[in-house]
Structure 1
Amino acid sequence: MSDTTNDADAIDRIVADWERERPDLDPSSIGVLGRLMRLANQVRAVESSYFDENGLTLASFDVLANLRRSGPPHRKTAGELATSSMLTTGGITFRLDRMEEQNLIERVRTREDRRVVYAQLTAHGKAVIDEAFGKHLDNQRQMLNGLTESELDQLAALLKKAEASVVAFDAKATDAAGQAS
């Protein structure tokens, strides 16, 4: 049963409404997944305003962070970036064009195979991501300031387990859909 006390939030009210309207169903998953979606949207909004102030987008920050954490020489192909980020290869190419105009990355070809093109951090790009990432972590810590270290560890473990559960469900659903066709 959901919490209908004065501490109830919008999600609690949604769950309570469904419990009242469809007592034959268990809407408790909304308490988890609904909050995760709302939380993700709120975090994205906070981060977007911060990135806007610093001349970045979430996508450009993701690419810069991806290159920076890869270690020297801080470069990857568009395909490697797409695999290890939240963007498609087409999205990466568009983003890299803009980032190259901003002198955040440069495109580099290897001597071994001139067909292979890497996106590589420029000195300016490295300075931008180093400053932005430090501020990004500070913002994240402040957003989670209401939780203790123990709660943060527990939440991270539970979210990891929840993600594995969703991935396993998705794999089963995909397999079932493939077998049905």
Structure 2
Amino acid sequence: MKTAREPRDEVDGIVESWGRERPDFDPEPLAVFSRMVRLTYHIDKMRRQAFTRHSIESWEFEMLAALRRQGPPYRLTAGRLMQETLVSSGTVTNRIDRMVARGNARRLPDPTDKRVVHVEATPAGVELVDQAMADLLDLESEQLDGLGANSSRELAALLRELLAHFERGGK
């Protein structure tokens, strides 16, 4: 039960309504997952704002960030990019095409296997993702300021635990 000092959000009303309307249901999972869905909406909106300043889409940031995190020469196979960004092979191919057309990445054939394509961020792509990341971290830090360092670390640990559960298959 919430105390008078705890803030309320829309999800509190949703959980209470389900509890009232269907007392045979346990609506407590909604307290977690409905908040995550709503936070995802707000996070996506915030991220789009950061990326718009750099004329970059969220998907392009994710692809370039995956390459950038590798360190020089900022290269991954298309298959590995697919795994890193959780998209299908057709989607990753389309995205690579678009990044190449914008001059933010280039394709390199594998010298030993013609079926494998490497994708490398260009210097312009590296600069773009570095600038977008700096803006993103500023925005995200502002949003977490109200939690305090300890609460932020606790939240990260709980989310890590839940995500690891899903990544193991969710059972």
- TM-score, normalised on structure 2? 0.90
- Structure 1: any 5+ residue segments left out of the alignment? 173-181
Contact 1:4–1:13, Cα closer than 8 Å, also in 2: no
Q: 1:30 and 1:112 mapped to 2: Cα distance?
A: 51
* 2:81 match: 81
**The 10-residue stretch of structure 1 (5-14 or 30-39) with the greater mean CA deviation from structure 2:** 5-14
Cα deviation, residue 86, structure 1: 2.5
* SS across alignment from 2:85: coil
**The 10-residue stretch of structure 1 (81-90 or 99-108) with the greater mean CA deviation from structure 2:** 81-90
Q: 2:132 and 2:56 mapped to 1: Cα distance?
A: 9
* 2:127 match: 127
Cα deviation, residue 98, structure 1: 0.8
Confirm or deny that 1:164 pairs with 2:145.
Answer: no
Cα deviation, residue 164, structure 1: 3.2
- TM-score, normalised on structure 1? 0.85
Q: Measured at CA, do residues 86 and 48 of structure 1 come closer, stay the same or move farther in structure 2, by a change above 3 Å?
A: farther
Larger radius of gyration: 1
Q: 2:13 and 2:115 mapped to 1: Cα distance?
A: 57
- After TM superposition, the structure 1 = structure 2 runs for residues 80-119 of structure 1, keeping only pairs within 5 Å, are 80-119=80-119
Cα deviation, residue 38, structure 1: 0.4
Q: 1:6 and 1:61 mapped to 2: Cα distance?
A: 36
Contact 1:2–1:28, Cα closer than 8 Å, also in 2: no
Cα deviation, residue 6, structure 1: 8.7
Dislocated runs of 4+, deviation >3 Å? 1-7, 110-115, 164-168
Q: Measured at CA, do residues 86 and 3 of structure 1 come closer, stay the same or move farther in structure 2, by a change above 3 Å?
A: farther
What amino acid maps onto 1:65 in structure 2? A
* SS across alignment from 1:84: helix
* SS across alignment from 1:23: coil
Cα deviation, residue 111, structure 1: 3.2
Contact 1:77–1:118, Cα closer than 8 Å, also in 2: yes
Q: Deviations over 1:38-60 (max 9, x none)?
A: 00111001111321231111110
Cα deviation, residue 29, structure 1: 1.1
Q: 2:115 and 2:165 mapped to 1: Cα distance?
A: 40
Q: Deviations over 1:41-100 (max 9, x none)?
A: 110011113212311111100000000001121111111100111321111111111111
* SS across alignment from 1:76: strand
What amino acid maps onto 1:107 in structure 2? R
- Structure 2: any 5+ residue segments left out of the alignment? none
Q: Deviations over 1:104-124 (max 9, x none)?
A: 001112333444321101111
Cα deviation, residue 144, structure 1: 1.3
What amino acid maps onto 2:163 in structure 1? E
- RMSD, aligned CA: 2.1
- After TM superposition, the structure 1 = structure 2 runs for residues 1-181 of structure 1, keeping only pairs within 5 Å, are 1=1, 7-167=7-167, 170-172=169-171
